[in-house]
Structures are given as structure tokens and as C-alpha cells.
Amino acid sequence: MDNRFTISVVVILFVFIASAVAIEAPKISKDSLKIGWNHDGLSRLNLTQTAFDNWAQGGENNFSWRVDVNIKCIYEKENVNLANAAGLSFGKIKVSSQESRKTVDEIRFQSVFTRKISKYLNPYIAVIAETQLAKGYDYSKPAKEPISDIIDPAYFTQSMGIGYAPKPVFKTRFGAALKETITDKYNKYADDPKTARIEKNKFEVGVESVTNVQKKVNSLVSTSSEMRLFSDLKGYRKVDVRWDNLLTMQIAKFINVNFNFKVYYDRDVDVKRQITQSLAIGLSYDFI
């Protein structure tokens, strides 16, 4: 295990422990929000390690880890709601003498301002930002090829429209949107192959829909699903899709099982849909 990999583990452990000792604040109510600021936070750490010594059936030593930190800060008043959410997911795996490789790398931020004028339908303004922490590689070739880096690419979406929330567990919104893709060295995410020059930035005007469902099955099991759709109105095959699903089962006070399933489609990046799924058992701490 190289020193950089060990240092990375120590840093992530420090982040996990630091979040666990964060100052206390009132938790977000599941059914209604209190007037003023409401805070909620959850951190998860998953570790997997396997070692072999003279094992006749074969196998390779491996060690993997993943950390997830999610924070919500919501400001509630009689006629306005400001919902801020931030998330970090990062993990690596090391197999035998190979260098460590990323398994997940995401930074997410979302802020939605809603003006409450009726019980169910209300206008909103939203901002979403997404990027990553570390360089990514394509290992399918004999020599690994770098394909992304920190804040390269970065995605920003601004939208405004009407939101619909008939129940606390279900909410959706639809409106006009501007999507920006910003790159530095890895221009394939923003470049238009139809033009002679290489673009580092891409701006798309269209419409966006975001639907979120959160359900607490019982005191130990909860599910969440969010589907985001963006269209530049140039054809149905150009609709960008991001569908994120999470099933969490609490099997002890600080131990949980998480199953995450994501579907991603952006024809400008790949003509085929992208899928990732993970099943993990690890530590969790509700720190706010």
C-alpha cells in the first residue's frame, strides 16, 4: 500500500470523525419544518479488506473504502422556503500491487428558493452545481489515459418555473433552464465536433424537470429516488437523464446497509446509457 493511498485514507477518516463531532442543531422534521433554520447531516464510511497468504484457491489482496457526507440546510418562513443541500461521495480501491483507483468521485450542491403562494403549486428559482475531486482515468487501454480532473468537467444548471409538492414525501418541479458545462483540458464534455474550433464551454438553453421521492418504510428502512431531466428541445434523443436511487437499512445504531443505483444518459458524452450500482455495509453517523 503506497504512502499516498494511506494518506488518503487518513484524510477521509479525519473528515468522517470531524463531521461526527459537529455542533448539535435541530433536525429537519419529516412532516413539517419549523420556522427559521433547520439542519440535517449524515456521514457514512464503508471499508472492505481481504488478504491471502498461501491460499490454494487463489485470490488477490484488496482494500477499498468509500465516504459519503450529505448536509441539508433549510430556511422556512410562512411565505418562503430556501432549501440548500450539499453532498460529497469519494472512494478508492487497491488490488494487490496495482495503484489505487477511484470507485466514486462526486461533489454536489443544490439550492432551491420557493415563493409560497398556494398550498401545492409555487414558483421557484434553483441552482445546481456538480463536479469531482480528483483525476479520473480510463484503464481499458494498455496505458491508462486521463479523462477528467478536479473541476474538469463542472456542470452548472440554473432554472426557474413551478414546483408541485402535494405530500412531504413527493415533490417535483418544472421550468426553463440554462445548463453550462465547463472544462479545461478534457474538452470532449463541452466540445461540439461539428465545429472547427475546440470549445471548452458549452451553454444549453432548454427545460428541466426534477422529481424527488423520499419514503421512510419504517424506523430501520428508508428509500429515496431523484430523477432529473434536461432537454435543449432539439429532439427526444437529446434529453439528458440522471436517475439516482438509494435504499438504506439501519441494522445497528452506527451500522447500515446501503444500495445505490444510478442511471445517467447524456448523448453528448456517450450514445449509450451509463449505469453504476453499489452495495455496501459500513458506519453511519447522523451528526446534525
Give 232-267 as a 3 state SS string.
Answer: CCCCHHHCEEEEEEEEEEECCCCEEEEEEEEEEECC
The predicted-structure confidence for 83-117, as pLDDT tens digits, reads as follows: 999 999 999 999 988 889 999 999 999 999 999 99
Average pLDDT in the 179-183 region?
Answer: 94
**DSSP assignment, residue 9?**
H
Give the structural domain span for 205.
Answer: 3-285
Please give the tally of structural domains in the chain: 1
Check residue 185 and give its pLDDT. 92
Strand, helix or coil for residue 57: coil
Query: Where are the alpha helices (H) located in the chain, listed in sequence order?
Result: 3-20
Q: Residue 257 maps to which CATH number?
A: 2.40.230
More confident residue, 186 or 14: 186
d(CA 108, CA 129): 6
Q: Average pLDDT, stretch 125-150?
A: 92
pLDDT beyond 50 at 18 = no
Please, are residues 16 and 45 in contact by the beta-carbon 8 Å criterion?
Answer: yes
Span 115-120, average pLDDT: 92
CB burial of 205-217 (b: ≥16 within 10 Å; e: otherwise) equals: ebbbbbbbeeeee
